[in-house]
Structure 1
Amino acid sequence: MWSEGHSVLVVGVPELDDYVRARTAHYDASFLADDPAFAHAHITLLGPWLSEPSPTDLDTVATILARTEPFEATLATVDTFPNGLIHLRPEPEDPFRALTAALAEAFPQCPPYAGTFPDPVPHLTLDRRAEGITPDSVARDLRHLLPVRTHVDRVDLQWWANHDCHVRESWKLGHRG
């Protein structure tokens, strides 16, 4: 599948990056990043976002993120959306929902998931249901890693395109500088 590319504001979950990177390689290795800062395992806050954000757009994101203090989250239970997407939901999810709401309000031209889901659920995508791939098989694969407790202290602006996945910008939560 060829992608012209899009940007996404995400929270990386490094504890699961090896697993998600392997699944990405299985489906389409052209989306593997050489950028060591790039988090294949992530929770999307807003995407697709602006392809070419202005300095003012970037400052707006920085201001929103400066108002949010770092927090802890746990990902423990493998679940599936009706469309077959196998995922983990963070607990608590309220800080993720609050960030998505603030970013979507600041950038109404960029509704979460292009407006496909009216109430987007914070999640970390693991795989898609297919022959031999079930929530149970994914849970077995991850049994030695779950639950994952992660410290959320930054948000990255990622660019996703074939052979060109990288971090464009990164902001620390609660950072007022």
Structure 2
Amino acid sequence: MALVRHAGCELSAGGAAPYPVGATVLVVPVPEAEPVVGGQRALFDPSARFGVSAHVTVLYPFLPRPEIGEATVAELAGLFAGHRPFEAAFTGCARFPGLLYLGPEPAEPFAALTRSVTARWPALRPYGGRYGEAVPHLSVGYGDDQVLDGVETAVAPGLPFATRVTSVDLASFDGLRWTPVARFPLRQSRILQE
């Protein structure tokens, strides 16, 4: 049976879910990426078949769904409200071993969102701590170099594109799909100094 590695889990060729029921994730949605990467993600990113749209991950895994109550949702809302909305551009492709991705420019505001969450919940590490420090990225496709060369050729004409980041989404895996739980607006405004 062929297996595809994704987010530290294995996906069988038969399509068995690589995520535990009740897993949660915090992501920045990037709808502007869909026309550029959506077709390739549908073919080469296993998460797309489970309802995951184009995004930059803030933290996976987050707390298990049964542990997220009103107090946690309120805390996340306050945490993300402390960040300003920001602009980001996706100008080119890059790779991790076996993964083609788009790196946001600037990357720092995405990293700051992750640091905020892990400062509050220090036991939670991006991807369970498997890869060291998290690198903000928008996953496009998994495969060997030949596959990724083709994916890169397909998405390159759609670059660059930009997005305005105004929120972070919390989603939960129900055994079949990732479903939205809450959206947290970024709200901090600039304070004019006299």
Shorter chain as normaliser: what TM range? Answer: 0.7 to 0.9
Shift, 1:108, TM fit: 1.7
In our comparison, the structure showing a higher alpha carbon Rg is 2
Q: In the TM superposition, what whole-angstrom CA distance separates every residue of 1:58-96 from its partner, at most 9, and x where no partner exists?
A: 111111111111000001110111x22110110101101
Q: Whole-Å Cα distance in 2 between the matches of residues 29 and 44 of structure 1?
A: 12
1:10 maps onto 2:27 in alignment: yes
TM-score, normalised to structure 2's length? 0.77
1:138 is displaced (CA, Å) by 2.3
Question: Equivalents in 1 of 2:30, 2:56: separation in Å?
Answer: 7
Matched, 1:141 2:154: yes
Alpha-carbon displacement from aligned partner over 1:105-147 (angstroms, at most 9, x marks no partner): 111232111111221100000012326412x422321133211
For residue 72 of structure 1, the aligned residue among 87, 90, 109 is 87
Distance 1:100 1:71, change over 3 A: same
TM-superposed CA distance for 1:162, in Å, is: 4.5
Residue 93 of structure 1: aligned partner? 107
On the 8 A contact 2:36/2:159 being kept in 1, the answer is no
Match in the other structure for 1:152: 165
Shift of 1:164: 2.1
| 157-166 vs 141-150, which moves further | 157-166
CA RMSD of aligned residues (A): 2.3
1:62 aligns with 2:80: no
TM-score (norm 1): 0.84
Q: Which AA in structure 1 matches 2:85?
A: P
Unaligned runs of 5+ in 2: 1-15, 190-194
CA contact (8 A) 2:92 2:103 kept: yes
One-letter code of the match for 1:115? G
- Percent of residue pairs bearing the same amino acid type: 30
- Conserved 8 A contact 1:44-1:122: yes
Q: Contact conserved, 2:89 with 2:163, CA < 8 A, in 1?
A: yes
Shift in CA distance, 147/18, structure 1 to aligned 2, threshold 3 Å: closer
CA distance in 1, matches of 2:188, 2:153: 38
CA–CA distance in structure 2, aligned partners of residues 80 and 30 of structure 1: 19
Rate the CA distance shift 1:67–1:29 in 2: closer, same or farther, 3 A.
closer
Q: Counterpart in 2 of 1:110? A: 124
Quote how far apart the aligned CAs of 1:31 are. Answer: 3.2
For 2:49, the equivalent position in structure 1 comes to 31
CA distance in 2, matches of 1:137, 1:67: 40
Matched, 1:165 2:182: no
- C-alpha separation in 2, matches of 1:24 and 1:145: 14
> 1:16 and 1:160, CA in 2 relative to 1: closer, same or farther beyond 3 A?
farther
Report SS of the residue matched to 1:169: strand
